[in-house]
Homo-oligomer: A and B are copies of this chain.
Amino acid sequence: MRDVSIIGIGQTPVAEHWGKSLKDLAAEAIQEAIKDAQVERVDALYVGNMCSGTLNGQEHLGALISDWVGLRGVEAVKIEAACGSGAAALRLGYVAVAGELADFVVVAGVEKMTDRPGQQVTAALAMAADADFEAQNGLSFVALNALLMRRYMHEYGVPHGDFAPFTINAHKNAIGNPYALFPHAVTAQDFCVARMVADPVNLLDSSPVCDGAAAVVLCPTSLARSLGARPVRIRASSSSTDTIALHDRRDLLGLEAAALSAAKAYRQAKVTPQDIDLFELHDAFTIVSVLSLEACGFAERGRGVRLGTEGDIAIGGQIPITTMGGLKARGHPVGATGIYQVIEVALQLREQAGANQVRDAHLGMAQNIGGSGATVVTTILEAVE
């Protein structure tokens, strides 16, 4: 198995891109990543995307985008694992390069969600849940996360206001990210009075519907040193699943797939949570941040919120999270999110995070989640000296 590195990154601003199509967005990110990598050959293109069929009337994104971006003929497919599609595509790109089946693989994530009315977007996102037992009975994606949050608050006696630091931190960090959708601060007061979406999840607990694309170029680390950008090595890549429906979980608040996926990644990288310098987690809702921190070993069960209230999640804190704004404030174009996360870790490890730079960042982790924890892909990245 070969060592694999990221040698090029590219991203579009996360926004409502009314003037650009799905393939325009993907092409923009891919071209930037290829330019950053300074590669002249691409062996395969893996595209992470969830909703192109339901929201854009277009499947077959592999062939579509490879041609549009000037890679006609190349092996190309779309990979889908709900909101975890981006990192699921990255994982397969990693497999191809690590296993010596390809040398240069471009992995892109793209989603264009703002062309349709909100109701259609809600219905499309609910396809990440169980159509027969959840969506069919009216459970939208926010509603499922509301059940999780309500249970957590009940179980551990946590007031809703304790989740505010996660949103405040994400928005603060987004100010330093030129690609973020919401580069502006919010206060604890804003959080407390935000409009309710699905009780107890309010608007400021929730990541937004938006458009965006992000791409990385992978190659063997042995070839990386002679190429463009400073390589960032993939120390671990792992993927696990859990039941898709919440009611089938053995342990509702345990995020078993996150724990399993993180444990595999720690084992592969031969590290512990204490070695991780920053963590781009999947803050689709504030409750998910908390559950992820607990499942990945950064806090004990029921104590994840404390990392927020005690300031540990800030840049400069013990375990900085959502350092460029996270899903909440950078934005969450679902199939693209997993690639945005990895790019943000890469920027930190390349010391290109500007005002948001985590000092002495050597090891970073990204975790992308599909559904309410049903697919979890964990990636541990390291700066190559």
Contacts and interface: CB of A to CB of B under 8 A. Distances in A.
Contacts of A244: 60, 63-64, 67
Interface string A353-385: 000000000000000001100110000000000
B257 A60 contact: no
A300 interface: no
Contact of A66 (B51, B135, B241, B371): B241
Given A73-B256, A244-B67, A375 B60 contact: yes
A131 to B, nearest CB: 4
B124 A243 contact: no
B73 A77 contact: no
A91 B244 CA distance: 26
Contacts of A80: 59-62, 77-80
B92 A99 contact: no
Interface in A111-146: 123-124, 127-132, 135
Contacts of A275: none
Given A99-B100, A241-B74, A256-B73, A82 B67 contact: no
Contact of A375 (B51, B76, B96): B76
B256 A127 contact: no
A179 B59 CA distance: 28
Interface residues of A, number: 62
A240 interface: yes
Contacts of A267: none
A99 B132 CA distance: 37
A239 B75 contact: yes
Interface string A240-256: 11111000100000001
Nearest to A80: B78
Interface string A84-126: 0000100110011011111000000000000000000001100
Given A53-B54, A135-B57, A78 B75 contact: no
A81 interface: yes
A72 B127 contact: no
Given A21-B132, A57-B127, A63-B374, 9 more contacts: A58-B130, A59-B80, A60-B81, A64-B130, A75-B240, A77-B80, A77-B81, A77-B91, A77-B239
Interface of A: 1, 21, 50-51, 53-54, 56-64, 66-67, 72-82, 88, 91-92, 95-96, 98-102, 123-124, 127-132, 135, 238-244, 248, 256-257, 260, 370-371, 374-375
21 contacts: A60-B127, A60-B370, A60-B371, A60-B374, A60-B375, A62-B88, A63-B374, A67-B243, A72-B243, A73-B242, A73-B260, A74-B240, A75-B91, A75-B239, A75-B240, A75-B241, A76-B375, A77-B88, A95-B96, A95-B101, A98-B99
